[in-house]
Chain A
Amino acid sequence: MKADEGRGALISPEEWRRPGVRWGVGGAQALLLIGLIVVGLGPLLWLAKSAITPTVDTISQPMALFPHGAAWRNLHVAWSDVNVGRYFWNTVVLAIGSWFVQVFVATTAGFALSVLRPTYARLLNALLLTTLFVPAIVLLVPLYIEIVRPPFIDHSFIDSYWAVWLPAGASAFNVVLVTRFFDNLPREIFEAARIDGAGPFRLFLYVVLPMSKPILGVVSVFAVLASWKDFLWPLLVLTNPDIQPLSVRLPTIQSQTELGVFLAALFIASLVPIIGFLIFQRSFLRGTGLGGAIKG
């Protein structure tokens, strides 16, 4: 065992060598891990299994594992006949748009508040923070009115993706998150860039953004997941079924199709967030990525 292994651990290597500690703590850890897997991964695996199980089997023998073989056609029927493919695509378009608007607003606002720091930045920061205390549900009606009758333009956004994309950008949480991250970037680097000849735009594009990959990952995950799961707002502003996302269409699908196909549709709907998390999880775990930038 390396000398420093166990440094900072709750149980020292010496204690760990005692059989009572090893079996007791080791057993508790194993049980905890199994519990977490059952609770966290269980429902997903169950859904995956049910998605490719014939409806009759799911109803008559829910605990059995493919008693009469797998029904891969559930996935095919859900994708083509029930139009999950189209709703899936709608959801992707909504998520990409929301993601872009959120990242754009969060990074540019964070850049202005943290790097450019106008004199009123502190006031603006305080105002932003206060909006976090307002429950989203309270804003539903005023926001709806704004979308139906936007200020200055005589054009309703109802039944257009802009009705989802634009409000998504108004996320004080993202702005605060990104501002705090930018606050912690070394200011000497910005100063070096300014002396090198970078104006605010190039400073943002060539220096600040590339240094902000970790926080962009975090904001992206939040943005995509929130957009993917969102039900109430798209239901309100997207009345045309052809442009509705999966989250809005799933209840209708449930009432119109057999259970197996519905579960297959649910499984398809949950795939993207899982894949997205697997791709972006490194952003959560990675450090700030400033290796060698400055000597601390």
Chain B
Amino acid sequence: MAAIEFQGVSKVYPDGTRAVESLELSIAEDEFMVFVGPSGCGKTTALRMVAGLEEISDGAILIGGRVVNEVSSKDRDVAMVFQNYALYPHMTVAQNLAFGLKLRKVGKTEIRRRVQTAATTLGLEDYLERKPGALSGGQRQRVAMGRAIVREPRAFLMDEPLSNLDAQLRVQMRAEIQKLQRTLGVTTIYVTHDQTEAMTMGDRIAVMRDGTLQQVDTPERVYRWPANRFVAGFIGSPAMNMVTARLIRADGALLVSFGDYSLVIDDEVLAERPALARYANADVIVGIRPEDFEDAALAAEAPPERTLTTVCSLREALGSEVLVHFPVARVTDTLAPLGDASSIFVARIHPQTTAREGEPLSLVVDTRRLHFFEPATGRAIYG
């Protein structure tokens, strides 16, 4: 198992497209690192550079302390699982699994042992003599995983391996991949655009946008302490509500005011974000996660300084929870693209709510969980 390091890695395509920009990242031995971001953010390109499938334009990639920029794919000792499986269609499952070992001149007995072990681990024993065409999507995905496992490589590289599976199978395979990675203890880079996968699977997640790394941290910390507006909006579903607001100092307390509403900023928040004091009487972007709302009628307490009274414009009952949409007037029209849609807020509240479309609704906000961002740069305001 090996640590992987990106040292100022950039990728520029011949047409001038900058797919990855000065990526600095260290992935520890045995760590499960998830690259997450929207399409075109450079996450797959970064992974392919580790695999040796893309040339590195600038910087260096180290695997196990060795610079691999000039090392060919086959000599990097990494295994990759592709989004569309990329199985060899003319070979049986057993041959698919054994192919990499055969090329590396592993002994026949050892190949048989490893193939058998991988097949047992992945529940593929009954399909060893079948060709990929005769397998279901889930089984093919397992074969692709198996092909990586048998190699016993120093790192697994997974490029959206679950995106072609149906929702139920994806949840099942997600857990299996996690379990497998823990058992085998192999350094893994997992690329996905699905933030649920990122949150549930990774030891750490690296959020990327337009080729630039936005934040690297544990899923919990990225969720709780997003580095900027992009990360805050990308991680969490439904996305964080954001709107331009004004911070007002009144009676020694700091209030955040947007539209017709004012919320008192909790002392806990002020202690965590001392820099907020500097924004008194200035505009900020306030972010409230949908889960930090609750129907005032169902909340234990609903003090007026933490309550918004609005009109429910849309109600989406999901069984275990209800999503209510409601309009929030903007303070200014200076919002950057991310905030444009946030004049409609979404709250995730208890299923017993009596909220009805077109009727007034009071919502309590957990003001200890407010997020603040600089309007100009989008950076989160902390210390």
Contacts and interface: CB of A to CB of B under 8 A. Distances in A.
Interface of A: 186, 188-189, 191-199, 202, 206-207, 210-211, 289-296
B264 interface: no
Contacts of A198: 74, 103
Given A292-B133, A292-B135, A295-B140, A196 B103 contact: yes
A48 B97 CA distance: 53
Given A188-B84, A293-B88, A197 B131 contact: no
A291 B103 contact: no
B100 A197 contact: yes
24 contacts: A189-B89, A191-B53, A191-B73, A191-B86, A192-B80, A192-B87, A195-B51, A195-B74, A195-B80, A195-B100, A196-B103, A196-B147, A196-B151, A197-B100, A198-B74, A198-B103, A202-B103, A206-B99, A291-B131, A292-B87, A293-B89, A294-B84, A295-B137, A295-B164
Residue of B72, B82, B89, B103 most packed against chain A (CB within 10 A): B89
Given A191-B53, A196-B100, A211 B90 contact: yes
Contacts of A291: 89, 131-134
A194 B135 contact: no
A193 B147 CA distance: 11
Interface class of chain B by DSSP: loop
B104 interface: yes
A211 B86 CA distance: 13
B133 A197 contact: no
A231 B132 CA distance: 46
A191 B147 CA distance: 13
B79 interface: yes
B97 to A, nearest CB: 10
Nearest to B78: A195
Contacts of B134: 291-292
Contact of A197 (B53, B103, B164): B103
A194 to B, nearest CB: 5
Given A206-B99, A291-B89, A195 B79 contact: yes
Contact of A189 (B88, B100, B133): B88
Residue of A194, A195, A211, A294 most packed against chain B (CB within 10 A): A195
B159 to A, nearest CB: 9
A189 B132 CA distance: 13
A77 B74 CA distance: 62
A189 B104 CA distance: 18
Given A189-B88, A291-B89, A196 B99 contact: yes
A186 B86 contact: yes
Contacts of A188: 82-84, 86
A245 B206 CA distance: 69
Contacts of A193: 88, 99
Interface of B: 51-53, 72-74, 76, 78-80, 82-90, 99-100, 103-104, 131-135, 137, 140, 147, 151, 164
A295 B135 CA distance: 11
A296 B82 CA distance: 12
A189 B78 CA distance: 16
B133 A192 contact: no
Contacts of B74: 194-199
A258 B72 CA distance: 69
A292 B132 contact: yes
Nearest to A296: B84
Contact of A210 (B82, B90, B137, B164): B90
Residue of B85, B135, B147, B151 most packed against chain A (CB within 10 A): B85
Nearest to B136: A292
A290 B89 contact: yes
Contacts of A197: 74, 100, 103-104
Nearest to B76: A195
Contacts of A211: 88-90
Given A196-B147, A292-B135, A207 B88 contact: yes
A293 B132 contact: yes
Given A199-B74, A210-B90, A292-B140, 7 more contacts: A191-B53, A194-B74, A196-B99, A198-B103, A206-B99, A293-B85, A295-B164
Contacts of A191: 51, 53, 73, 80, 82, 86
Nearest to B163: A295
Closest 10 CB pairs of A and B: A291-B133, A292-B132, A292-B133, A196-B100, A188-B86, A293-B89, A197-B103, A294-B84, A192-B86, A210-B90
Contacts of B72: 194
A290 B132 CA distance: 9
B89 to A, nearest CB: 4
Contacts of A210: 90
A202 B87 CA distance: 16
A195 B132 contact: no
Contacts of A207: 88
Contacts of A202: 103
Nearest to B95: A206
A290 B103 CA distance: 22
A206 B53 CA distance: 20
A292 B131 contact: yes
Nearest to B153: A195
Nearest to A212: B90
Nearest to A191: B53
A189 B53 CA distance: 12
A296 B86 CA distance: 10
A132 to B, nearest CB: 29
Nearest to A293: B89
Nearest to A202: B103
Nearest to A188: B86
A261 B187 CA distance: 77
B99 A189 contact: no
Contacts of A192: 80, 82, 86-88, 147
Contacts of B78: 195
A239 to B, nearest CB: 45
Contacts of B140: 292, 295
